Chains A and B, each alone.
Chain A
């Protein structure tokens, strides 16, 4: 197992570099430039060209790639000229919100989705199963912006139970840590519900199909034949085995914790990574775009590794060499 992990970690390096290289190539070939958005009559073509040269020198993309890489290894991920700050700081401003939001949404999705999936599977084709299936399909089909605005309209605007926008109340800026934390949690309730809702459906469907498969297997029949109570059969024997694919699913969801959710962030005016990367694309803010993508690539690669390791941990039949 130890050897396996070391080998996988070493494999990550060339894959990571390969992905970055492709990213550089695509970004380099995209039309438009950093200065295209600057519309100012005092900005002469000469000034614009000079600025362009300064911000994004016209070098072959592989030269830019190696320049970026050597700087990145020293911890310098470049400068976001839109924000007048280093890329790392700009991402730092946004990652906290994204992480908190996604983590809470993931927990909500798991806490509701997995039990619902189990109930659905044990009562297959019953009224409860059909009802939950319909609900989960609604969850998958409901567009985020519509569901988000609906919740805002009812719970925030009409009933005034939740704030309409933002991550914090600016009037609390000088409050103590716990007040601020509570305030931010309060602001994240609705966005987390919206983001988690679609995920509930997917967790539920995965759990249901996995459970159904396990329930039909021989060892469950044996367990029942031994005279074990249904509760023990389902929760001790079936559930553990049914969780194997779900655990893998969680591994794959890890990068989602930092990739952000553009729609949810926009509707609730949250400072998140999703919206930041869309802005980086539309302003051709290449250093920022690369910084975000490098981070996501790394998270995805590690997420896959974690999924594989978890897989071995929960399933004794699997051994890596």
Chain B
């Protein structure tokens, strides 16, 4: 953090600590501090059992007397099964929780006496990354055609059960951000198989050998999609792509593996050894829209870097740099909007969806209803009272 940058302020995520908490000689020494936290916050760690509970009590010596907690403290418990979260809430074992944002959970909370729902669009997205170093995916027209041939609205309904809980992915800026260009400025890639087929045709991909798969210069349009099993949505999306892409002469192979293997194959592998055509994942974003070092930064195409697409566009790189030297937020917003529109057109990595988050809160708890995309519940605790 040597150069002045408007994004630097986001790096101040820790409070002020005693120097022994960050000056350490070994990993073990640093680690031991994790079990002996220090701080000057509203809550004090009282006790914990691994994977059982963490007990925090109100800090009576909190410096800001007006914002001391009115409740005794907060007790975090561990419930592994999503299906049991809401049962525990209904039973009164817990006062609030964050279940998965799925329609069935929303319906259950709304039907539950004594509890209510808080939901908001989250700051993050799910994406599908194309390996643009492959002859099959180096043309922007092919990537666009694949998007046109994917019925994402149907995918969202199938996966999340409701279009209220999720929003169609457009560009790599969060929809909740001040830098989002607005839906009208972006291409939705509405489902259109005919258009997709025509685009592939125009890009030179035709079925010359009659095997049902398009090819060009002897290379068949056959793609490997890495799908991890820890979440359900990559399986759902790739399954739908298998059907619809098959109709326009694109052969898809879906490769199931665990998350760690997907990350190792796509990000950790050195350029040239990244053995995939498509992979999917979801990211949470920080408040600042700066994409440097991330999925879309050509300089992050390396072993261990986050850009596995191998795509480089000078205009995009310039805009990213410009965003980090401009301190006027309105002007910064314009830069990022231009960048987002550009990425929405080039789609080295396509944004699949913006997802919501939901909270279920007991009616006996007051003061937590303002949980939102930029308001963590911990920031609201001083207002909380109980019936």
Contact = CB atoms under 8 A, between A and B. Distances in A.
Interface of A: 31-33, 35-37, 39, 41-42, 44-46, 48-49, 54-55, 79, 81, 83-85, 90, 93-94, 149, 152-153, 156-157, 160, 163-168, 170-171, 173, 265-267, 269, 271, 275, 281-284
27 contacts: A31-B260, A35-B304, A36-B263, A37-B260, A41-B294, A44-B293, A45-B304, A46-B304, A79-B31, A84-B32, A84-B35, A93-B50, A94-B50, A149-B81, A157-B87, A168-B49, A170-B75, A171-B75, A173-B47, A173-B55, A265-B80, A266-B81, A267-B80, A267-B84, A269-B81, A282-B258, A282-B259
Interface string B297-315: 0001011111000000000
Contact of B11 (A37, A42, A48, A160): A42
A269 B78 contact: yes
Interface of B: 11, 27-28, 31-32, 34-35, 47, 49-53, 55, 75, 77-81, 83-84, 87-88, 90-91, 93, 230, 257-261, 263-265, 267-268, 283, 286, 292-294, 300, 302-306
Contacts of A275: 80
B263 A164 contact: no
Contacts of B32: 84
A112 B182 CA distance: 66
A45 B264 CA distance: 13
Contact of A81 (B31, B35, B53, B258): B31
A235 B265 CA distance: 62
A135 B258 CA distance: 37
Given A41-B286, A41-B294, A54-B27, A166 B77 contact: yes
A81 B34 CA distance: 11
A165 B93 contact: yes
Contacts of B264: 31-33, 36
Given A31-B260, A157-B90, A164-B88, 19 more contacts: A32-B260, A35-B268, A39-B306, A41-B286, A41-B294, A45-B305, A81-B31, A85-B31, A93-B50, A157-B87, A164-B87, A164-B93, A166-B52, A167-B52, A170-B55, A173-B53, A271-B51, A282-B260, A284-B260
Contacts of A152: 84, 87
B259 A41 contact: no
A271 B50 contact: yes
A49 B303 contact: yes
Contacts of A163: 93
Most buried by A among B75, B83, B268: B268
A156 B81 CA distance: 14
B260 A266 contact: no
Contact of B84 (A41, A94, A164, A282): A164
Given A45-B305, A84-B34, A39 B283 contact: yes
A283 B265 CA distance: 15
B50 A83 contact: yes
Nearest to B305: A45
Contacts of B55: 170, 173
A87 to B, nearest CB: 12
A165 B91 CA distance: 12
Nearest to B75: A170
Contacts of B91: 156-157, 160, 164
A28 to B, nearest CB: 14
B295 to A, nearest CB: 10
- The list of the 7 closest CB pairs from A to B, nearest first, reads A45-B304, A84-B31, A32-B260, A170-B53, A271-B51, A36-B263, A32-B264
A32 B303 CA distance: 13
Nearest to A52: B304
B268 A36 contact: yes
